[in-house]
Structure 1
Amino acid sequence: MAVSNNITAFLNFIALMCSIPIITSGIWLASKPDNDCIHWIRWPLVFLGISLLLVTLAGFVGAYWRKEGLLGVYLVCMAILIVLLLAFLILAFVVTRPSGAYSVPGRGYSEFRLGGFSSWLRDHVTESSSWGKIRTCLADTGICPKLNEKYVTADQFFGAHLTPIESGCCKPPTICGYQYVNPTTWINPVNSVADADCSAWNNDPSQLCYYCDSCKAGLLGNLRKEWRKANIILIVSIVVLIFVYIIGCSAFRNAQTEALFKRYKQGWV
């Protein structure tokens, strides 16, 4: 039984290590300016990572000090956490599958269409009841004014690989035909395209294209890009956790069988 407990303790130590990149990726996502403006999406991954850390710590203690009751609770809680992580991963993949991006000839950046993203993501992030606060928050982050420090000439700006938010919120859509002055100042064309985003653009730093659908699409594009990176860490962690859990269950079952055999043997003696 000691061998099985040692195996379980070692496996729980590996699982405990898996919680660290999950927590780190959650904190990384929460620290992003766009996630800072969407409070409900900031902390689920951090919460799951901390829960995993506590559960695996309990499993390690139970295995090391041979607390079978604690090990049983650990196995149940670990199964629940693995299911939750899988559900979270599947949801993240489904809602971030469409990209909504399209290339612009002669530009280093892409632009984004709101209709190109999943309806669930659009409904939960860009609905009118929440967009007002998100829009104000984005304006307060200072993302757009920083472009004026990074790019001086039009060639520099047009060849830049802007983030989705910078592309969607800090400048008018290319189709509008605005003339470049600097990254956040543009001259209105004489014959503007009949597009709502074209008329929504304003050189006022507090407005820019924050009222545009392209800004909403840019926010979704940023979320998609960041969550796709976090998904890679989740996939690796979940695979390791499932492997550890299967071996841990086997070791726990073997330990139970060994203990039962010893009790029977002592009874016969």
Structure 2
Amino acid sequence: MRVSNNLVGILNLVTLLLSIPIIGGGIWLSKQANTECERFLDKPVIVLGVFVLLVSIAGLVGSCCRVTWLLWVYLLVMFLLILLLFCFTIFAFVVTNKGAGQALSDKGYKEYRLGDYSNWLQNRVNDNWGKIRSCLEDSKICQKLLTDNSTPAADFYKEHLSSLQSGCCKPSNDCNFQYISPTNWTKGATAALGNPDCEIWSNDANKLCYACDSCKAGLLDNIKSDWKRVAVINIVFLVFLVIVYTVGCCAFRNNREDNSYKRYP
């Protein structure tokens, strides 16, 4: 058997074995989930695992058993996957190109403005904010601040808060509220008129600023960072897929040559 066929077979055997824990992880997530937010990932993970399993079987059988049509299907799926990943990577860099936290003088944390981020991301977040807010509340991102009620103002202002904590767990800096505790603020008379978050803020631990635009902006900053990491990983994965696809094309050519030889001895 030729080298390219062996190599495609080995690579697909590895991915087939990897698909088993992926499927198992998705099933485990579906069994362990107690909230809607925790169930969000179980179906995509299972679908991904099954997809990888089927593609691996097609590549393994097509290369090792010399089933030319199956190898052709495998190469077609690989080509579409490469094209899809390439488009997604470009898209991810484009939509995450805008937006960043604004540094504040004498503050350890940053402020986040919804309008600074991509319109596409803003629309997706606004359309699904009810579910997203429920997930944020379940994640208890403000729990640390709720338990630090005795923190002096000077120490709190030096805290390095995450984008979600800064946007969802405290009022915006330009509201000019008087600090009582990390999640307890007194409204002043000099709040910024153009910031609707100043009216939305609540000292109620179940409300805080979860309905604020700053909370949505904090989430978008988090998404932006995650998507950039995913885009970089995608580039590495794309290089790997292109190499596998090239080797697969060689194996496909070998299959056709062998079939021609058998047909015309």
Q: TM-score range by the shorter chain?
A: 0.7 to 0.9
TM-score by length of 1: 0.79
Match of 2:90 in 1: 90
How many angstroms apart in 1 are the aligned matches of 2:252 and 2:229? Answer: 35
Aligned partners of 1:49 and 1:92: how far apart in 2?
A: 23
SS at match of 1:80: helix
Q: Pick the aligned partner of 1:149 from 140, 147, 150.
A: 147
2:120 matches 1:114:
no
Matched, 1:215 2:218: no
CA positional deviation for 1:46:
6.9
Are the equivalent residues in 1 in contact too, given 2:15–2:56 (CA < 8 A)? yes
1:145 touches 1:184 (CA, 8 Å); kept in 2? no
Q: Aligned letter for 2:132?
A: I
Aligned residue type for 2:141: I
Q: What residue number does 1:193 align with?
A: 192
**Post-superposition shift, 1:197?**
1.3
TM superposition score normalised by structure 2: 0.80
> Secondary structure, in 3 states, of the residue corresponding to 2:142?
coil
The CA distance in 2 between the partners of 1:5 and 1:172, in whole Å, is 61
**How many pairs does the alignment contain?**
256
State the one-letter code of the partner of 2:143.
P
Structure 1 unaligned spans of 5+? 27-34
Aligned alpha-carbon RMSD (Å): 3.5
Where does structure 2 lack aligned partners over 5 or more consecutive residues?
Answer: 27-35
Whole-angstrom CA distance in 1 between matches of 2:113 and 2:37: 22
What is the percent sequence identity of the aligned residues?
Answer: 46
- 1:7 maps to 7
* Closer, same or farther: CA 21–227 of 1 in aligned 2, 3 Å: farther
Would you say 1:243 and 2:243 are equivalent positions?
A: yes
1:165 equivalent in structure 2: 164
Q: Does 1:132 align with 2:116?
A: no
Structure 2 residue identity aligned to 1:165: L
User: Which whole-Å deviations, capped at 9, do the CAs of 1:43-100 have from their partners, x for residues lacking one?
Assistant: 6687456523431233123323333332222111222222222233233222222124
Out of 93-102 and 232-241, give the one that drifted further: 93-102
Residues 89 and 234 in structure 2, CA contact (< 8 A), matched pair in contact too: yes
Residue of structure 1 in register with 2:31 after alignment: none
2:179–2:186 contact (8 Å) kept in structure 1: yes
Pairs within 5 Å for 1:33-112? 36=37, 47-48=47-48, 50-112=50-112
Residue of structure 1 equivalent to 2:32: none
